[in-house]
Structure 1
Amino acid sequence: MAEFHDLAELALNSEGQSWGNLGYWQNADNYSDACRALALMLGEQSGLDRHAIVFDAGFGCGDQLLVWLEHFHIAGLHGINLSHSQTRFAKAKLSNAGFEAEASAIVEGDINDPDLWSTTLDGARPTHVLALDCAYHFPSRLAFFRLAQHHLSCAGKLALSDFMLAEQHDTGSWAHRMLGWMLHRSHIAEDNMVHRDRYLRELQDSGFEDVRIIDISDHVMPGFAHAMRKLGRERAASSATLPWSSLIKYRVTGWFLAWAYRRSILRYCLVSARKAR
């Protein structure tokens, strides 16, 4: 069976890049630059530095791992990613960049599997748990919060870029039924889409404090939607290598995000929190 999360996004990137997030488009005019900008924002929001030991939940094809290692110069790295093809690609990317030990510390598997966290960390206590544009895809984001809190070092930091329902969105509306259909098609559990107040409560109930939520929707959702519309025009006017099936997937995702943004259904935020002492 084909993987939902595969290597199709390689065709969206500049040469040598393999990003797979929605991007931060305020000062970016191409997909790879926007994706890198979002990763940098997350790293800065979480306070990465030379002493940080990072656990990356959902590292994709590995570009963000190199940002943690080469831009922030972190001290240690661990990670879990669901996709077999992406994990294999990320391991090769790290090895080719000279990070052999780090390549062996990232593994394929289910982020909600507590045994996998234990074996991957092998006794290490990360100072930071990061989830760049992926937590909404987890089987249970709440279970992820609890596992992160359990394994983080004292006063460790959780940081993620994530979706939540807009405060004015009515869960009893026809728009919410449409949202539910799109979430199912996108392999996203509907329980992961909650309003800001519930999101905050779930973090606090999981043992986090000093929660900070910054809405960056204006520089994420419209930019990605525009890039996917542009991608369609470029694909039609050239012999692009992106298969039609993948093009349709990205065009539909772009249309959906533009719709959800215009109708104030979803918001996209940077979230950070500290493990309660």
Structure 2
Amino acid sequence: MLENLRTLGRVVRTLATKDPVTRVRRFYEIQSPDVEFAARTSRYMNVGYWEEGVTSIDVAGEALANKLADAAGFKPDDTVLDVGFGYGDQDFAWLRDRRVARVHGVNVTPRHVEHAQERARREGLADRADFQLGTATALPFPDASVDRVVALESAFHFHPRSAFFAEALRVLRPGGTLATADIIPLSNDTPRMSINSGPLSFVKFSLPDENWHDRRTYGEQLTAAGFGNVEVHSIADRTWEGWRRFQAARPADPAFRAAVDGSAVKGMANHWRDADLIKKELGLLDYVIAVAQKP
């Protein structure tokens, strides 16, 4: 019960925050990691890419990270900048599996940065993995200094996303690639504030109006920023429903119930109880992989 009250307090504080960067940081401090990652093997924070038969969000989360790496065209000698990296699980996977030369991470949430920094030290990767506080619209890197810029389910927060596109173009070397996995509406005609279900509250409270636009506008903004070879394609059919099924089933999972107290189980069940509304509103959202190249 005490943790529920603390969570409620963090929600109220977040909603009262006017500064967009601080609001996003506080949004990611609402949920206790002990609950968010209970009975899990990773700290992926994305909705996942759900292949047929996949039932684990840890597997789906890494699959989405791999989809983004494929889209970005990672090569072993690349320097990668990951903007809004969460806890950094994808960065360690890319260092291990893609053997990229170096990963830089920028994030506005101190909890995330500290966790990733400590993991890099613990795993002996501090010389290849650098994580720091910073914002997507003022990247702390020189011009033409990285080969790939990626944002794994984070760019919808950036205020505005178009300013991030300009910064990504600046820091990329000629021929470098920007790739995002991102959340947008299917139609510009859908009012952002019409999304009312609890699990999609981030649409109202941590997504700026400037970022609420469809695939076509997304591509136009990349082109306007100076990118070429722009592609924006939907993977919504492999994201939202798998994520919803996993989260809705979690309160009944014995491992989850054993790892958290009863109030957290009840809170999760209440959060996901209105399946019809959640499905309806997920049907208004797209999920895209966007790729663009610096000339």
Report if TM-score (shorter chain) is over 0.5: yes
What root-mean-square deviation, in Å, do the aligned CA atoms of Structure 1 and Structure 2 show? Answer: 2.9
Amino acid at match of 2:194: M
Tell me whether 238-247 or 60-69 shows the greater mean CA deviation.
Answer: 238-247
SS in 1 for 2:244: helix
SS in 2 for 1:218: helix
Shift of 1:9: 5.0
Structure 1 pair 254–82 and aligned structure 2 pair: CA distance change class (3 A): farther
Q: Report the counterpart of residue 22 of structure 2 in structure 1.
A: none
Q: Report the counterpart of residue 196 of structure 1 in structure 2.
A: 215
Q: Could you state the TM-score of these two structures normalised by the residue count of structure 1?
A: 0.84
Amino acid at match of 1:45: A
Quote the Cα distance in structure 2 between the aligned partners of 1:267 and 1:128: 24
Structure 1 pair 150–186 and aligned structure 2 pair: CA distance change class (3 A): same
Q: Report the counterpart of residue 57 of structure 1 in structure 2.
A: 83
Quote the Cα distance in structure 2 between the aligned partners of 1:33 and 1:237: 17
Quote the Cα distance in structure 1 between the aligned partners of 2:154 and 2:85: 9
Quote the Cα distance in structure 2 between the aligned partners of 1:87 and 1:109: 10
Residue segments in structure 2 that go unaligned for 5+ positions in a row:
1-8, 11-25
Shift of 1:102: 3.4
Query: Contact 1:163–1:193 at 8 Å: present in 2 too?
Result: no
Matched, 1:37 2:56: no
Quote the Cα distance in structure 2 between the aligned partners of 1:47 and 1:186: 33
Identity among equivalent positions (%) equals 24
Structure 1 pair 254–209 and aligned structure 2 pair: CA distance change class (3 A): farther
Quote the Cα distance in structure 2 between the aligned partners of 1:45 and 1:29: 24
Q: Report the counterpart of residue 28 of structure 2 in structure 1.
A: 5
Structure 1 pair 90–51 and aligned structure 2 pair: CA distance change class (3 A): same
Q: Could you state the TM-score of these two structures normalised by the residue count of structure 2?
A: 0.79
Quote the Cα distance in structure 1 between the aligned partners of 2:127 and 2:274: 36
Q: Report the counterpart of residue 259 of structure 1 in structure 2.
A: 280
Query: Contact 1:170–1:176 at 8 Å: present in 2 too?
Result: no
Q: Which digits, 9 at most, give the CA deviation of each residue in 1:175-197, with x for residues without a partner? A: 65413894564411122110222
Matched, 1:23 2:39: no
Tell me whether 8-17 or 66-75 shows the greater mean CA deviation.
Answer: 8-17
Query: Contact 1:13–1:32 at 8 Å: present in 2 too?
Result: no
Aligned positions, number: 264
Q: Report the counterpart of residue 153 of structure 1 in structure 2.
A: 173
Return the match for 1:247 from 258, 263, 268.
268
